[in-house]
Amino acid sequence: MSMQELIIDTQNLQKKYITDTVETTALAGVDLKIKRGEFVAIMGPSGCGKSTLLNILGMLDSPSSGSFKFLGQEVANVSERQRAKLRKENLGFVFQSFNLIDELTVEENIALPLAYLGFSKSETEKRTLQAMERMGIAHRRSHFPQQLSGGQQQRAAIARAVVSEPALILADEPTGNLDSVHGREVMQLLSELNDAGTTVVMVTHSPTDAEYAHRIVNLFDGQIVTENLNVKRHAAELL
Amino acid sequence: MFNNYLKIAVRNLLRNKVYSAINILGLAIGIASCILIFLYVQDELSYENHFSKSGRITRIVGEVIFEGHKDEFAVTPPALAPAVSRFSDIEAVTQFNRAGKQTIWYNNQTFTDEDLVFADSVFFKVFDYELLAGNPATALIAPHTIVLTEEMAEKIFGGVEQAMGEVLQFSRDSYTVTGVYRNLGHSHLNVSGLLSKATIDARTSAEERNTQWFNLNNYTYVLLQNEEQIASLQAQVDDLTQNHVNPWIKENKLNAQMKFIVQPLKDIHFDTRYMHSISSSGNISYVYIFGAVAVFLLLIASINYMNLATARSAKRAKEVGLRKVVGADRSQIIRQFLGESVLLTLIAVLLALALVQIFIPSFNNLTEKNFSSDFFLQWDFLLVILAIVLLVGVVAGSYPAFFLSGFKPADVLKSDKQPRGGSATLRRALVVLQFSISLIMIIGTIVVFTQMHFLKSADLGFNKEQVMVIDVPGGDSTLVQRLPVIKQKLLQNPNVLQVSNSYSIPAEPTNRTLLLMEQDGKMVEKTMDIIAVDYDFISLMGMEIKEGRNFSRDMKTDEKSGIIINEAAAKWLGWSEPIGKKVGTGENRVGDSSTRIIGVVKDFHMSSLHTDVQPLAITLAPESPGYLLARISPENQAATISFVEEQWRMFDQRHPMEYFFMDEFFDRQYRAEEKMLTVFGYFAGLTILIACLGLFGLASFTAEQRTKEIGIRKVLGSTTGNIVLLLSKDFALLVAIAIMLATPVAWYGMSQWLQDFAYRIDLSWWIFALAGLLALVIALATVSFQAVKAALLDPVKAIRTQ
């Protein structure tokens, strides 16, 4: 069954940053397996390597050593072009600071991934509208990001992340810049996406947010120190 | 996707209005200048293109070597054409000679024209002008026929049809119009009409013409069967010279060597070496200089784009990161940014075309050309525009494109990590390059200006001011005989201070003649420049007699046997005591020993200060056509001129009075330099303007980037003055480096330019210091605007913004 298929499988993943004078180890051998359909939260103190790990999982960065299999395919050392291709076909990103393009409207921002995938105009319009409606921001479609509240911006960003129907969504502190009401809204949206079958990997500081995940991975000094199943979530699902 | 790029590009341009304006305006000025310069260069290179046989047409020019001194002439002996026409590989040979200044009468109207030639009937076979009327094969066969240009036909008769068959009266004889032709493009043959050469040939015998090898007065053009035969023609000409011409010269006891050179028609316009050319030549170095200026202007404007785009890259970094996150690969990002710079360039091109439309009349004035404003309809022009768009768009766009597309999304999407906006060192280097170019242009302008001032105020050895020069038409002997009468009449006006008549005046080509000069008791052949003047010329011109005396009315022998030389001649001949030295002149040059040197005049400049003072002999010819000179008082000048005109009308009813002032006439020799000075000055202004636009943008970027630093400094007690100094210091340093780089280059370039002048200014340090100071002041003024703005910021706000 597809639930058992590994979407992410890393072995002894390491990342070192070398500057003129110092060598910093960001990841010191991470073994992480994530199954399709899982919702995983990565937690840990600042500087523990959470973001580095997420960047590598999102193929925005490559590891210094170790193995990273994405959907069974080794991607640790593939070319930049290949990574771009894997990203656009399989991944969606949500950031703490939303990262919408200021010069594009909400609708144009959301349509962007489809443009790089080469969708037709009508298909793009259809899918963009669907994503906007799903996130409840269709009424702000022709606004520019600065005209939106933080919550609306993040919903637009999530709409952009899901518009291409990726297998995996990577979220980097998605509620970090939001108040608790909007934060909860965003977490519910991610949770709904996960319920619909999308794998979600989220980096967070917030224990409340982590509650939405099936599994919580705790990172410290570049290593996984504990992995906890979220009993509450599992219980909810079983009910 | 394209729409998306376009939207982003347009919205970015609109959002950053100052930045966009700097880029677009700078590029537009650069491109507009480029277009104008392109038109100029294309025009200069278009000479002779309209002749369908231009590739096969050659001109033969002559070199005369005499006592190791080489003179190069555009004119050749009359015997050359008949000799050449017997060569193999020749399709046609045509020769013509200048008719000189002519007065033409038709229907009670008088016209004067200097650009007529006597041409043989083969002329149109070589130069295939379009004949609007008449038969090119026969129009110039009969004596006393004339073929006119369309303009002349319009001017005299009011139309082409009206001209045919009409008779034009010249001083000596009359000519019937047998054809009208159209001037289609530029040619060095700047001719207003062709008189049939048969007319003057009838005055001499063919025998005489065909053997005469030392009269240089005919222009000779050869139409080859094909372009490759130019070498074979040269070989045949050399053969002729060696076996026939030089032996003939020797036989006639002329101590000279002649050489003929075959020159392709297309080379003539830019070949300035030859004396007595049919029209003033172009100058290839100006084509190169202007071409370089065009490239520089574009380069400087492109650098602005590169600098501002990379400096502002931090603002685009997030977008790049995002596009990559959602799946763009690097090449797509590169294409996007290249597209943006091409779009920007396109907008600039449109603006440039508008600028060109506005400035084309002034540019025409400046260059004395006649460009029409529909130039952009030509396909080659469109190609140039396309090339500019691609070159500027792609070259200027590629650095920012490659730089921006290299951003790692993981770095730029974290709000605490902002890229530094590209290599500041490269930006500085580019600013240095811009200012170096600007400085070279400024130094060039100052040097040319100073040299021009020097030339115009230099002591010429005579006083060129307030001398009115009136043309005395030749071919009318009664006029010349009555010259003393009008001279007396003119002197009755107290504002006419002195009068004189002379066969030649400064800035006119002088005749060169063969004289026998006494050296060590022997008479030796020497060729030197010679002019013929009257008793009053030397005194009117304010020339100084250094030794001996001036011509005197009391000495009846002066006219036949008195010669004055200049100091240069005395030195050249090695005479320490020149007075009384024997000279053989004219027909009696062999053996007539009664002619003596009676005086030495202080060196004066017969021609421009491009050349040294040449050895010169001055003979007395009190009654000669040429020019009537009047030194007039600056008071009531207008009244004096009309008085002179009135007197002239009474004196000569047949010719309208034509006059000019000697200072203007003399200074006209510097017209090319004058023109270059103006053009150079304008473009130097534009370069520095564009460079400053860029500097302004960069300074505003730096001030923005250092807002936090400025805030902290102010909190710690820094004054506004300190801050302005802090921000300006960096840019001042860049200009200082540019001064150091530009100085040697400009020094070398301008030394080369000054080589054209025998008399030139020294490239003294102050020129470079002045240019440097100017650039520094302009740059600091530009930068300090931004620096003051930044320094006046509220420090609390400044710290909070970052």
Chain segment A13-68, per-residue pLDDT in tens: 999 888 777 888 889 999 999 999 999 999 999 888 888 899 899 988 889 999 99
Per-domain residue ranges of chain A: 2-99+168-238
Average pLDDT over every residue of B239-265: 88
Q: Strand locations in B183-281, DSSP E?
A: 193-196, 219-224, 257-264
Chain centroid to CA A74: how far? 20
Which of A51, A85, A112 has its CB closest to that of B326? Answer: A112
CA distance A234 to chain B (A): 31
The two three-digit tokens of residue A157, written as one number: 């960003």
3-state helix, strand, coil in chain A (%, to 5): 40, 30, 30
- How many angstroms separate the Cα of B385 from the Cα of each of B330, B381, B525? 29, 6, 61
pLDDT over 70 (residue B465):
yes
Q: What's the pLDDT band for B388 if we cut at 50, 70, 90?
A: confident
**Percent above pLDDT 90 for chain B:** 38
CA distance B16 to chain A (A): 11
Determine which of A214-218, B253-257, B450-454 has the lowest per-residue pLDDT on average: B253-257
Is the Cβ of B273 closer than 8 Å to some Cβ of chain A? Answer: no
Count chain A–chain B contacts defined by CB atoms under 8 A.
80
pLDDT over 90 (residue B252):
no
Q: Which residues are A19's β-sheet partners?
A: none
The two three-digit tokens of residue B328, written as one number: 């763009």
Question: In chain B, which residues have their Cβ closer than 8 Å to the Cβ of A88?
Answer: 326-328
Q: What is the 3-state secondary structure (H, E, C) of B418-474?
A: CCCCCCHHHHHHHHHHHHHHHHHHHHHHHHHHHHHHHHHHCCCCCCCCCEEEEEECC
Q: What is the pLDDT of residues B688-740, one digit of tens each?
A: 888 888 888 888 888 777 777 787 787 777 888 888 888 888 888 999 999 99
Q: What's the pLDDT band for B103 if we cut at 50, 70, 90?
A: confident
- The one-letter amino acid at B6: L
Q: Which of B7, B8, B319, B326 best probes binding to A when mutated, by most A CB atoms within 10 angstroms? A: B326
Instruction: Kindly provide the ipTM of the predicted complex, given to two decimals.
Output: 0.82
Residues 394-413 of B with CB under 8 A from A: 408-410, 413
The two three-digit tokens of residue B580, written as one number: 């009384």
Of B427-431, B535-539, B698-702, where does the model show the most confidence? B535-539
Average pLDDT over every residue of B597-602: 94
Give me the half-sphere count of Cα atoms (radius 13 Å) on the Cβ side of residue A123.
8
Contact B7 A104 (CB under 8 A): yes
Cα–Cα distance for residue pair B802/B794, rounded to 1 Å: 14
The two three-digit tokens of residue B573, written as one number: 């001949």
pLDDT over 80 (residue B413):
no
Among the listed residues B220, B329, B231, the one whose alpha carbon sits nearest the alpha carbon of residue B274? B220
Is the Cβ of B418 closer than 8 Å to some Cβ of chain A? Answer: no
What is the model's pLDDT at position B417? 53
Q: Which of helix, strand or coil describes residue B260? A: strand
Is the Cβ of B319 closer than 8 Å to some Cβ of chain A? Answer: yes
Q: Which of B11, B16, B320, B325 best probes binding to A when mutated, by most A CB atoms within 10 angstroms? A: B325
Q: What's the pLDDT band for B318 if we cut at 50, 70, 90?
A: confident
Determine which of A113-117, A195-199, B297-301, B719-723 has the lowest per-residue pLDDT on average: B719-723
Average pLDDT over every residue of B16-37: 88
**Residue that wins the pLDDT comparison between B700 and A189:** A189
- The one-letter amino acid at B478: T
Cα–Cα distance for residue pair A9/B396, rounded to 1 Å: 45
pLDDT over 50 (residue A1):
no
Residue B118 in contact with residue B170, Cβ under 8 Å?
A: no
Contact A112 B323 (CB under 8 A): yes
What is the model's pLDDT at position B419? 57
Cα–Cα distance for residue pair A176/A95, rounded to 1 Å: 9
Which of A84, A95, A102 has its CB closest to that of B327? Answer: A84
Helices (H) and strands (E) in chain B, counts: 30, 24
Question: In chain A, which residues have their Cβ closer than 8 Å to the Cβ of B415?
Answer: 96-97
Which of B4, B318, B328 has its CB closest to that of A84? Answer: B328
Is the Cβ of A55 closer than 8 Å to some Cβ of chain B? Answer: yes
Residue A178 in contact with residue A186, Cβ under 8 Å?
A: yes
Among the listed residues B472, B607, B467, B635, the one whose alpha carbon sits nearest the alpha carbon of residue B539? B467
Contact B327 A85 (CB under 8 A): yes
pLDDT over 80 (residue B449):
yes
Residues 126-185 of A with CB under 8 A from B: 160, 164
Q: Which of A60, A82, A94, A105 best probes binding to B when mutated, by most B CB atoms within 10 angstroms? A: A60
DSSP class of residue A173 equals: S
Q: Is the Cα torsion angle B591, B596, B530, B68 positive or negative in sign?
A: positive
Contact A101 B322 (CB under 8 A): yes
Cα–Cα distance for residue pair B624/A149, rounded to 1 Å: 99
pLDDT over 90 (residue B785):
no
Q: What is the pLDDT of residues B320-369, one digit of tens each?
A: 888 888 888 888 889 888 888 888 899 999 999 999 999 999 888 888 88
What is the model's pLDDT at position B421? 59
CA distance A227 to chain B (A): 25
Nearest Cα residue in chain A from B416: A97
Q: What is the pLDDT of residues B64-93, one digit of tens each?
A: 887 777 888 999 999 999 999 999 889 999
Q: Which of helix, strand or coil describes residue B765? A: helix
Question: In chain B, which residues have their Cβ closer than 8 Å to the Cβ of A121?
Answer: none
Is the Cβ of A87 closer than 8 Å to some Cβ of chain B? Answer: yes
Which of B15, B327, B413 has its CB closest to that of A116? Answer: B327
Q: What's the pLDDT band for A4 if we cut at 50, 70, 90?
A: low
Give me the half-sphere count of Cα atoms (radius 13 Å) on the Cβ side of residue B216.
21
Average pLDDT over every residue of B631-657: 90
Q: What's the pLDDT band for B474 if we cut at 50, 70, 90?
A: confident
Cα–Cα distance for residue pair B132/B713, rounded to 1 Å: 82
Nearest Cα residue in chain A from B412: A99
Q: Which of helix, strand or coil describes residue B658? A: coil
Residue B304 in contact with residue B694, Cβ under 8 Å?
A: yes
Cα–Cα distance for residue pair A34/B615, rounded to 1 Å: 102
Average pLDDT over every residue of A118-143: 92
Residue B232 in contact with residue B89, Cβ under 8 Å?
A: yes
Q: What's the pLDDT band for A98 if we cut at 50, 70, 90?
A: confident
Give the number of other Cβ atoms within 10 Å of residue B395's Cβ: 15
Q: What is the pLDDT of residues B158-186, one digit of tens each?
A: 989 999 999 999 988 899 999 999 988 88
Average pLDDT over every residue of A81-103: 88
Q: What is the pLDDT of residues B32-67, one digit of tens each?
A: 998 888 888 888 888 998 899 999 999 999 998 877
Q: CATH for A2-99+168-238?
A: 3.40.50.300
Contacts of A114 (CB under 8 A, 6+ apart): A123, A124, A127, A128, A163, A164
What is the model's pLDDT at position B280? 67
Instruction: Indicate the helix (H) or strand (E) that contains B296.
Output: helix B284-311
What is the model's pLDDT at position A157? 92
**Average pLDDT over all residues of chain B:** 87
pLDDT over 80 (residue B414):
no
